[in-house]
Structure 1
Amino acid sequence: MAMNALPRLAGGQRDDWLAVADALLGAAQEHATPGHGRIQFPGDEGGYGRDVDGLEGFARVFLLAGLRIAGAEGRGVDDLIAFFARGVRSGVDPSAPDRWVRIDEHAQAKVEAASLALALDLTRPWIWDRLDETTRARVIAYLAPVVGDDTYPQTNWVWFRIVVETFLRSVGGPWSADDIAADLDRHDSFVRTDGWLADGEERAFDHYVGWALHVYPVLWPRMTGAAELAAGRTTADVARLDRFLVDALHLVGVDGSPLLQGRSLIYRFAAAAPFWAGVMAEVPSTSSGRLRGAAARIIDHFTANGAPDAAGVLTLGWHGPWRSLAQSYSGPGSPYWAVKGLLGICLPADHPVWAAADEPLPVEEGDDLRAIDAAGWIVSGTRSDGIVRVFNHGTDKSLPGARTADSPLYARIGYSTATSPLLDDLAWTEPLEQSAALVDAAGRATHRTALEPLGARVVDGVGIASSVSDVHWVEPSPTGHRHGAGLAGEIRSAGRMSVHSLVRGPWEIRIATVDELSGDLDASGLRLRMGGWPIAAAEPAHLTSTGAAEARADDRVSGIRALVDDATSQVVVRRDASPLGAVAAVPVLSWDACVGVPFAALVSLAAEPVETVATLDLDETTGAALVTWPDGRRTRTPLTDSGASRRAHRHSRARSGARNAIAKEQHA
């Protein structure tokens, strides 16, 4: 099937889902080695080398094949069964030229081993049970080194060992009850409020919450023999998933785009996986039609925009190829974690979900405003333009008290389904878009990691999220390790800054105050700079006026307008900085810095420019912000809560400081 002929899944039937899966499988098989043990997709070698690339390609595609074979109950997929059975035999044959990289040869094999184990379990009657005894023994020997391995990063990686040891247990191989118990305990330590989990001890809230930390607790109990191991856990895991999905549905744009935030965005429609997990777990709060519809929209977003490409391959990028979106370790097989978004094809044809009608996304039904307390986010979705925006005052992929450069994937003030953070080299050393920073005479901007969250909540129809940071300049150390977190380096403190975001619809009132400066540093020569939303296109239009700046392309307008006098306005243009267009434009304001003076701006992202000026008055007695919004509504919002969030942060900071440092993050 030609890739531009892939069926749309929204409103489609089960056969449409199978057609998309079959197209991906067929194209992938064309890149298999003669023994089928590796799938070597075209493209430059990944950060871990060509051998790892080949294993990664096979394991991730095999997972999709496993879903397809299981959903078909082995009928009508004989060629697929034969192809991947041959690949397993070759992969574990020590003398085969396309053997799999062993777990004791490279840590990445621990990740891929989980996909291999899941696929082998899914296809047990049709592949595992028919393998010869020598091959089965070799598979067990290949997977066995995970047992007792204490070098797994304490992140979503714990699930890779749980899955592999569960499979080993089911086939008479070695396993450790202590390993599984320890990994489950670690998973439980990631649990935060309202069904959210952090990917490790860091404040890492991203798509891994859904496509890993909520998906594996649903898949794992369904593995052979796992029900006994999972006894007593499932109810709580499903309840957390149920609550998480209530928020997750509100993070999908009307065009099906997921939020462009966090690492591993090249996995694209893996973002649909938690919705299918909800269907499989039969969560009570959301209908299967709404969950399937959300998953369909996400996949359609990518298949309609160049992923897969004309040859049927998922490239390193978002829509089309864009290597800078990937992490340093990523190879040409990495994007195939996207197959998790097709998880539902493992459900049989008579499953009720296939008869359910798709239901609309929340952003289609009306404007939406909500707080996600765990992540420190205010979420604002607007029906008029279908954009979902997140205002971030709690996520920076860092431990409390750490000092690094800001990661553009995590530490910006705003993320959305219609914009991407800048991701060129400069973006990793200079916060610009969606930032509030001090800029010195040499043009160097401060960073806010690690920020101190002060809470996120909705008060009388206004979202309010706040944070305080010990802002600092960073001279980054040279590194080839680019796993999504901010860069380490030499730190020079600048002082302390508080930032508040008041949110209604497409608008944010951003208030930044330099609370104090460090040491003998004075404000002379310092500027306080605010950056707005980045607009990317072939050539976005932009303009400035006194105290205002704007960038626009197609049906997206990013604006920033000063609510405090004496602002300088400009639009900063960057080329090759965004996966959404060749040129990105960021509207920017700056003022001469002054300690204790609140600087404020109206920041907007909408389909139309903001024509009406907002006003802001700060009540110094009550600490409230009195705002007249562009639509004329007047609101009064306290800028901080009672202090409970600050106390909770201090408690978390002390608790984190007492723990051992977690293992260096690696590739998932």
Structure 2
Amino acid sequence: MTAFKGESVATPALPRLAGGQRSDWLAVADALLSAAQRHATPGRGRIVFPGAEGGYGAAVDGLEGFARVFLLAGFRIAGARGEGVDELIAFFADGVRTGVDPDAADRWVRMDEHAQAKVEAASLALALDLTREWIWDALDTQTRDRVIAYLAPVVGDDTYPRTNWVWFRIVVETFLRSVGGPWSADDIAADLARHDSFVRADGWLSDGEERAFDHYVGWALHVYPVLWPRMTGAADLVGHRTAGDVARLDRFLQDAVRLIGVDGSPLLQGRSLIYRFAAAAPFWAGIIAEVPSTGMGRLRHAAGAIVDHFVAHGSPDADGILTLGWHGEWPALAQSYSGPGSPYWAVKGLMGIMLPADHPVWSAVDEPLPIAEADDLRAVAAAGWIVSGTRADGIVRVVNHGTDKARPGDRTADSPLYARIGYSTATAPLLDELAWTDPLEQAVTLIDAQRRATHRTALTPLGAQVVDGVGIAASTSDVHVVDVAPTTHRHGAGLAGTVRHIARVTVRSLVRGPWEVRLTSIDDLAVGVELEGLRLRVGGWPLAGDEPRHGTDTGSAEVQLDGRVSGIRALRPEAVSSVVVRRNASPLGGLAAVPVLTWDAEVGVPFAALVTLTGAATALDARASLELEGDESVAVVTWPDGRSTRTPLTDSGASRWAHRHSRARTGVPYAIAKEQHA
């Protein structure tokens, strides 16, 4: 299909990939490539997608568009072994020549002009390595020298953020080394050591020193250690690392494959969600690395289900473009640095097409997602998560007591992308402006007399585990109000500002199936804080769509939408119930509704609520009861399905709960009284 630049050409219906053939994967990739090529500049050095200019400017947008689409082309050309893709080879060879031509109007932004070029350089280097035989080897000497000169500034550059960015320098220097360019063994050793410092339990990694557990664990920190050893000349740099990297990936995938909803939706949590089906990338990494614990058929199905989810919901759009958003276009989901080419990191989710037609993955027997076969309840200790997936409604929920994208001791506003108590494959955190200053959904907050809500970042995790069929996780926080300082740079973390401490609050979650019993204790008030006028607010799961239905009863509230129900019910003591509705706050729909409970605050009294997200007809009938017994506090819960469980509250926060079910006690102010700047 041929079209002039900017001409709208409807993209044909794309095939289903879960359970599909290799030809189906190629059809999706080719549709994205064809649509992207229509937006290339005359010299093909940039691809400028329609939409508002990104936070880093139009020139960066054009480089980003080219580099990320070139990565997809690299997968396509390598998997085809250069056969039948002559036009694709010619197009991107032209783009490389133009990109490094200093006199070209559509040349690539250099690293000394903008740091984002360091990110895109990694995609350029990977794509050039993948297509070495068909593009690099055919370039003239002048162009090769210019490419080397363009990439060379990475060597010795100490300004790379200490996050997944370490891999951008490793990849570029490995390519430079393979073509006779400059490189530094010290740089690579330092970056690998930095990567190793991110390693946490059970195959999980944190994206930097913060408690940043999100999709970057999979689509960056596990993908590059699989692609890098396969680069030309990398083998002697890799040494003995591969076995450890693959073992971590193998263990991570055992959790990751259970974080996908039955409809293929990934978890809506963390930054850069506009990358959409890049969330499929770690499953392809597992296939390429031949991990032993999860079969190729299941990994391929998982990757396909994720891509299918977005295709089924209109992404790419009718013109074949990946817009800023989740399903459709919703720019508020993007970070401040994102531009119209940013969503094309999604192409990592298609990297399986680099595997040729005779690779065994294409003949592996298809295996369904775990959520389609059975309920699941597990702890992700590194992230402080309890994961509960239910086969009946296909929803995967995460209850979060360890992730806030902060360092211990930080005091900021909560990031709705990280610091909420719950995330799922069926709901999205609210992301309007108010969401960054007033935590509501899946939050426990104190509301002061000025109606300001507290924040829990940085929380102190108290552990996550599964005991006798009940998931238990807890955290404690010096909760605080924040007068947010103005900023134009929003990279997903909570906002900084002037902080006033309010209280010490402990929250504990008992999780089983679609239910969470959420227990909250106000342990102590900060010096100078009065109890009078202070309210405790607990928000449930947000549902968003065109017309969510909602209602309240005595001590309970619920929201219904498209066969899903979000409910909240006070277990002790009595509470006031309400439903808060916000417009244009969610990428999943125009109206978002959150069921809420509020109590008059009391120090030392255990407040408890049943929080529900289910595909059942209603949550108002979801009765449950809770008793706290004994000096060491055992939670006796009768769940809505009639089962009774006894869960010892035995971690480091257990003593906070002893004796509190019988009477309140006087709060002892703790010694944080002054305002601070976070």
Could you say which TM-score interval applies, normalised by the shorter chain?
over 0.9
Picking from 229, 244, 250, the partner of 2:237 is 229
Picking from 137, 140, 144, the partner of 2:145 is 137
- Cα deviation for residue 517 of structure 1 reads 0.4
- Cα deviation for residue 357 of structure 1 reads 2.0
Q: Which residue of 2 aligns with 1:490?
A: 498
- Whether the aligned pair in 2 keeps the contact of 1:500 and 1:510 (CA below 8 Å) is yes
In the TM superposition, 1:33-48 aligns within 5 A as: 33-48=41-56
**Secondary structure at the counterpart of residue 106 of structure 1:** coil
Picking from 633, 637, 645, the partner of 1:635 is 645
**Secondary structure at the counterpart of residue 221 of structure 2:** helix
- Cα deviation for residue 10 of structure 1 reads 1.1
The answer to whether structure 1 residue 422 and structure 2 residue 430 are counterparts is: yes
Q: Which residue of 2 aligns with 1:580?
A: 588
- Whether the aligned pair in 1 keeps the contact of 2:45 and 2:95 (CA below 8 Å) is yes
1 CA distance for matches of 2:381 and 2:534? 33
The answer to whether structure 1 residue 193 and structure 2 residue 222 are counterparts is: no
In the TM superposition, 1:142-153 aligns within 5 A as: 142-153=150-161
Picking from 182, 206, 209, the partner of 1:174 is 182
Q: Which residue of 1 aligns with 2:543?
A: 535
- 1:57-108 per-residue CA deviation (whole Å, 9 max, x = no partner) reads 0000000000000000000000000000000000000000000000111000
The answer to whether structure 1 residue 526 and structure 2 residue 534 are counterparts is: yes
In the TM superposition, 1:400-411 aligns within 5 A as: 400-411=408-419
Q: Which residue of 2 aligns with 1:217?
A: 225
- Cα deviation for residue 4 of structure 1 reads 5.5
**Secondary structure at the counterpart of residue 83 of structure 2:** coil
2 CA distance for matches of 1:358 and 1:256? 15
Q: Which residue of 1 aligns with 2:393?
A: 385
- 1:187-207 per-residue CA deviation (whole Å, 9 max, x = no partner) reads 000000000000000000000
- 1:367-422 per-residue CA deviation (whole Å, 9 max, x = no partner) reads 10000000000000000000000000000000000000000000000000000000
The answer to whether structure 1 residue 208 and structure 2 residue 224 are counterparts is: no
Q: Which residue of 2 aligns with 1:397?
A: 405
1 CA distance for matches of 2:652 and 2:289? 38
- Cα deviation for residue 643 of structure 1 reads 7.2
In the TM superposition, 1:526-565 aligns within 5 A as: 526-565=534-573
Q: Identity of aligned pairs, percent? A: 77
Picking from 372, 376, 380, the partner of 1:372 is 380
2 CA distance for matches of 1:12 and 1:253? 19
2 CA distance for matches of 1:643 and 1:575? 38
Q: Which residue of 1 aligns with 2:666?
A: none
Q: Which residue of 2 aligns with 1:306?
A: 314
Using a 3 Å threshold, how does the CA distance of structure 1 residues 394 and 336 change in structure 2: closer, same or farther? Answer: same
The answer to whether structure 1 residue 270 and structure 2 residue 278 are counterparts is: yes
2 CA distance for matches of 1:38 and 1:574? 39
- Whether the aligned pair in 2 keeps the contact of 1:455 and 1:640 (CA below 8 Å) is no
2 CA distance for matches of 1:641 and 1:561? 26
**Secondary structure at the counterpart of residue 465 of structure 2:** strand
- Cα deviation for residue 522 of structure 1 reads 2.0
2 CA distance for matches of 1:240 and 1:644? 32
- Cα deviation for residue 644 of structure 1 reads 12
- 1:587-635 per-residue CA deviation (whole Å, 9 max, x = no partner) reads 0000000000010000000012231410000124121111000011111
Using a 3 Å threshold, how does the CA distance of structure 1 residues 479 and 232 change in structure 2: closer, same or farther? Answer: same
Picking from 238, 250, 267, the partner of 1:242 is 250
- Whether the aligned pair in 2 keeps the contact of 1:495 and 1:516 (CA below 8 Å) is yes
Structure 1 unaligned residues grouped into runs of 5+: 647-668
2 CA distance for matches of 1:136 and 1:21? 28
- Cα deviation for residue 441 of structure 1 reads 1.6
The answer to whether structure 1 residue 595 and structure 2 residue 603 are counterparts is: yes
2 CA distance for matches of 1:5 and 1:510? 45
- Cα deviation for residue 11 of structure 1 reads 1.2
- Whether the aligned pair in 2 keeps the contact of 1:316 and 1:326 (CA below 8 Å) is yes
Which sits farther off after the overlay, 357-366 or 637-646?
637-646
2 CA distance for matches of 1:464 and 1:295? 30
- 1:155-211 per-residue CA deviation (whole Å, 9 max, x = no partner) reads 000000000000000000000000000000000000000000000000000000000
2 CA distance for matches of 1:209 and 1:623? 36
- Cα deviation for residue 490 of structure 1 reads 0.3
2 CA distance for matches of 1:240 and 1:10? 25
CA RMSD, Structure 1 to Structure 2 (Å): 1.3
- Cα deviation for residue 520 of structure 1 reads 2.2
2 CA distance for matches of 1:530 and 1:116? 47
Q: Which residue of 1 aligns with 2:129?
A: 121
Which residue identity is paired with 2:435?
A: A
- Whether the aligned pair in 2 keeps the contact of 1:547 and 1:565 (CA below 8 Å) is no
2 CA distance for matches of 1:315 and 1:262? 18
1 CA distance for matches of 2:208 and 2:129? 27
- Cα deviation for residue 329 of structure 1 reads 0.5
2 CA distance for matches of 1:573 and 1:630? 27
Q: Which residue of 2 aligns with 1:624?
A: 634
Picking from 351, 361, 376, the partner of 1:353 is 361
2 CA distance for matches of 1:534 and 1:574? 10
Runs ≥4 residues deviating over 2 A: 1-4, 639-646
2 CA distance for matches of 1:556 and 1:106? 45
**Secondary structure at the counterpart of residue 497 of structure 1:** strand
Structure 2 unaligned residues grouped into runs of 5+: 2-9, 657-678
TM-score normalised over the length of structure 1: 0.96
- Cα deviation for residue 442 of structure 1 reads 1.7
Picking from 84, 88, 92, the partner of 2:96 is 88
- Cα deviation for residue 565 of structure 1 reads 3.0
1 CA distance for matches of 2:560 and 2:123? 43
- Whether the aligned pair in 1 keeps the contact of 2:422 and 2:541 (CA below 8 Å) is yes
Picking from 458, 470, 475, the partner of 1:462 is 470
